[in-house]
Amino acid sequence: MEEEREDSQKLKKIAAAAFDYENDPRWADYWSNILIPPHMASRADVVNHFKHKFYQRYIDPDFVVEAMNISNSSQPPKPSAPSSSSSASPNDQARTRSSGPNTRTSGTSATAGSNPTSVRWDSQTIQFSVNAWVLIVAVLAIFPLVPGSLSNRAYRLSFMGTACSSLYSLYSLYGRPRAWNLQALQVYFQSIIATKDFIYFIYCLCFVSSHLCLKLALVPILCRALELVAKFLRRNFSRSTLYRKYLEDLCVWVESNTTTLSILSSHSEIGLGFLLIVSLIFWQRNIIQTFMYWQLLKLMYHAPVTAGYHQSVWVKIGRMVNPLIHRYAPFLNTAISAVQRWWLR
């Protein structure tokens, strides 16, 4: 029985390791709510441990997760007590002299081992700075008392900042294509096309150069920047007096209501699609922008990171609109069916 149980757990462990966490939207929410120090979050064994806990919670409750061993290998060894020169043998002295280069080598390796943590910290700091700047600029663009020229400039700068932040995040996570030929680029884009950063990058491209100034388009940008800034502040400034006094309640609310922010973003994104269709009757219409944005909405409908929120909104829209069409405009059923076939492809 014990051997069968061990074999079963080995198979479950293999299945947990092979599970596609990145394409499961629940994993992103689960990982974002885990509060651990940045130097721990960069360790592969820590990430794998929480992946196994996620797999146990959502996929296979019978999977047994082993306890995580936090090693202190990064700490330098304690120096041994000094021995008197009279009691040290010649062989011990020879070993002591020969251990000098090894000590220097281990010191160099320890220094080299600490570099990835500092690089990760710098990357997070850069992302925090850009997103905090986007948050401030987007609030300026929405605030009604700001002059029109400043508001329009802040509107475009917020999209530019979010586009830069998304590109930097994609580069940090996925790097560059292995080669600059068609096949390598196709493989690279297939790996990033369903990610949230790529979706937000295309979203910003749709509005940054448009003549239309739709303030509703800033709502997803604000939600994204607010969520990332709150997460960084809570993980890195939790002991700060200013944070505890002024920002702790807001950051806790944001991190506990990420689903609400995602639902708000999905409603705004779908509402923008219909606004762009209405704008086609005005002189500021942009047919290419409308076509690109509806292609993006289709991607959001199918991408795992946004599919759950968008599909729920479209279900609500269908419940409200379909009875009205069947009752007052049944001649539109053929056209709507064709659009639905294209949408669900």
DSSP assignment of 311-338, as one string?
HHHHHHHHHHHHHHHHHH-GGGHHHHHH
Burial class, 141, CB count within 10 angstroms (exposed 0-12 / middle 13-18 / buried 19+): buried
Does the pLDDT at position 82 exceed 70? no
DSSP assignment of 212-264, as one string?
---GGGHHHHHHHHHHHHHHHHHHHSTT-HHIIIIIHHHHHHHHHTHHHHHHH
Mean pLDDT of 72-80: 43
DSSP assignment of 125-152, as one string?
HHHHHHHHHHHHHHHHHH-TTS-HHHHH
Q: Model confidence over 97-114: pLDDT tens digits?
A: 444 444 444 444 444 444
DSSP assignment of 76-128, as one string?
PPPPPPPPPTTT--HHHHHHHHHHHHHHHHHHHHHHHHHHHHHHHHHHHHHHH
Residue in the structure block whose two tokens are 């950051």: 251
The predicted pLDDT at position 120 comes to 46
Q: Model confidence over 239-276: pLDDT tens digits?
A: 888 888 888 899 999 989 999 999 999 999 999 999 99
Q: Measured at the alpha carbon of residue 22, what is the angle toward residues 18 and 25, in degrees to the nearest 5?
A: 120
Does the pLDDT at position 42 exceed 80? no
The predicted pLDDT at position 145 comes to 86
Q: Model confidence over 289-327: pLDDT tens digits?
A: 999 999 999 999 999 999 999 999 999 999 999 899 888
| Cβ partners under 8 Å of residue 134, min gap 6 | 158, 161, 162, 165, 221, 225
Q: Which residue, among 294, 302, 287, has the nearest Cα to 272 in the 3D structure?
A: 294
The predicted pLDDT at position 91 comes to 47
Q: Model confidence over 174-224: pLDDT tens digits?
A: 888 888 888 889 999 999 998 999 999 999 999 988 888 899 999 999 999
The predicted pLDDT at position 51 comes to 86
The predicted pLDDT at position 7 comes to 73
Q: Which residue, among 64, 61, 70, 92, has the nearest Cα to 7 in the 3D structure?
A: 64
Q: Measured at the alpha carbon of residue 245, what is the angle toward residues 240 and 248, in degrees to the nearest 5?
A: 75
The predicted pLDDT at position 20 comes to 79
Q: Which helix (H) or strand (E) holds 29?
A: helix 25-32
Does the pLDDT at position 162 exceed 90? yes
Does the pLDDT at position 43 exceed 90? no
Domain boundaries, the chain: 2-58, 122-305
The predicted pLDDT at position 310 comes to 95
Q: Which residue, among 316, 337, 115, 129, has the nearest Cα to 225 in the 3D structure?
A: 129
Determine what percent of the chain falls in helix, strand and coil, rounding each to the nearest 5. 75, 0, 25
- C-alpha–C-alpha distance, residues 267 and 238, integer Å: 32
End-to-end Cα separation, the chain, in angstroms: 48
* 160 DSSP 8-state letter: H
324-333 burial string, b = 16+ CB within 10 Å, else e?
eeeeeeeeee
Mean pLDDT of 76-100: 44
Q: Measured at the alpha carbon of residue 116, what is the angle toward residues 111 and 119, in degrees to the nearest 5?
A: 115
The predicted pLDDT at position 70 comes to 56
Other Cβ atoms within 10 Å of 310 Cβ, number: 23
Q: Is the separation of the CB atoms in 177 and 185 below 8 Å?
A: yes
pTM, two decimals, is 0.65
* Residue 73's pLDDT band (cuts 50, 70, 90): very low
* Residue 116's pLDDT band (cuts 50, 70, 90): very low
Q: Is the separation of the CB atoms in 162 and 135 below 8 Å?
A: no
Region label for 43, one of left (φ > 0), alpha (ψ between -120 and 50) or beta (otherwise):
beta
Q: Please state which of the ranges 42-51, 64-73, 152-161 shows the lowest mean pLDDT.
A: 64-73
- C-alpha–C-alpha distance, residues 211 and 274, integer Å: 17
